[in-house]
Amino acid sequence: MLTLSLQEVPVTALSLPEWTDPRVQVWQTSGGAVSAYGYSDGRTHWLYLPDLAVFSFQPDSREVKTFALRPYQDNIIHDVYYRTVLPLALQALGTEVLHASAVRTQQGVVAFCAASGTGKSTLACALNIRGYASWADDAVAFALTSEQVVGVLLPFSVHLRPESETFFDRNLHRRGGQEPVDNHGALRPESVRLAAVFVLQRSAAKGEQGKIEAQRLTPALALPATLAGASGREAAGDLGWIAGPC
């Protein structure tokens, strides 16, 4: 597991590129606001979240360095780290990550992949209330073994949109969310078979509210559908960066 460390060096002392440099990748929210800048100089990967912090990591290190851009706020930095930076860093270093939420079943991890706002966190929360253990919210890491695909457990907390917060009793959904630990990500490593990935889509047809349809996709259709849903990480804490589509 990667660990987070706060650096005392001011950001102004860093040799960062100009954000207009063509090598810098700019990520925007659906409204067009800049949510993050990504840059790699061949050895060090950088992630800059405006008005919050700069994060950096290297392939041969298990440390993610953090340079705060404003007075350090532990809860905000840690939430952004666990929710955004850790999944992206793991992906850049070789662990695949889907933009998805997930629950754990007797058959293994079941992930729900979709663009932001589709309802993957809401669905996972509803299943958690029905008795299925929460596994991930917004980022499902997985790895290939010689025998199967396994989901890799990461620290996370459940984030619901206001409408879903209102629908679910707060105490119920919080029981399913595993709050990020205080010791910078130390977590007992655990991997469980990835049993299924569902690609969620909202029906645009009138009169279809409440109707649920499940369709098994062929491998040729499943890959682009999964990548399309996995690329919807566009806001800080909900963005994709550095390693291509997740």
Give the per-residue pLDDT at 171: 52
In this prediction, residue 153 carries a pLDDT of 87
**pLDDT of amino acid 104:** 93
Three-state SS string over 41-81 comes to CCCCEEEEECCCEEEEECCCCCEEEEEECCCCCHHHHHHHH
pLDDT of residue 148: 87
* pLDDT reported for residue 235: 34
Q: Is the dihedral of CA 92, 97, 99, 102 positive or negative?
A: negative
Is residue 92 within 8 A of residue 242, CB to CB? The reply is yes
Q: What is the pLDDT of residue 236?
A: 34
**183 near 155, Cβ under 8 Å?**
no
Beta-carbon neighbour count of residue 206 at 10 Å?
6
Backbone angles phi, psi at 100, to 5 degrees: -160, 160
Q: Which of 74, 76, 25 is nearest to 46 (CA)?
A: 25
Spans of the chain below 50 pLDDT = 173, 175-187, 231-246
Residue 217: predicted pLDDT? 83
Are 4 and 76 a contacting pair, CB within 8 Å? no
pLDDT, position 101: 92
pLDDT value of residue 176: 44
Q: Give pLDDT, residue 207.
A: 56
Tokens of 23: 């090598």
So what's the pLDDT on residue 181?
39
Q: Which of 117, 138, 103 is nearest to 201 (CA)?
A: 117
pLDDT of residue 185: 41
Full-model pTM: 0.73
The confidence score (pLDDT) of residue 240 equals: 32
User: What one-character-per-residue DSSP string does 176-211 give?
Assistant: H--PPPSSTT-----EEEEEEEEE-----STT-TT-
**Is residue 133 within 8 Å of 103, Cβ to Cβ?**
yes
Please say whether the beta carbons of 45 and 242 come within 8 A.
yes
Residue with tokens 């459940």: 158
What pLDDT, on the 0 to 100 scale, is given for residue 57? 92
Domain ranges of the chain: 3-95, 97-232
Q: What is the pLDDT of residues 173-221, one digit of tens each?
A: 454 444 443 333 444 557 889 999 998 887 766 555 667 778 888 888 8
The CATH number that domain 97-232 falls under is 3.40.50
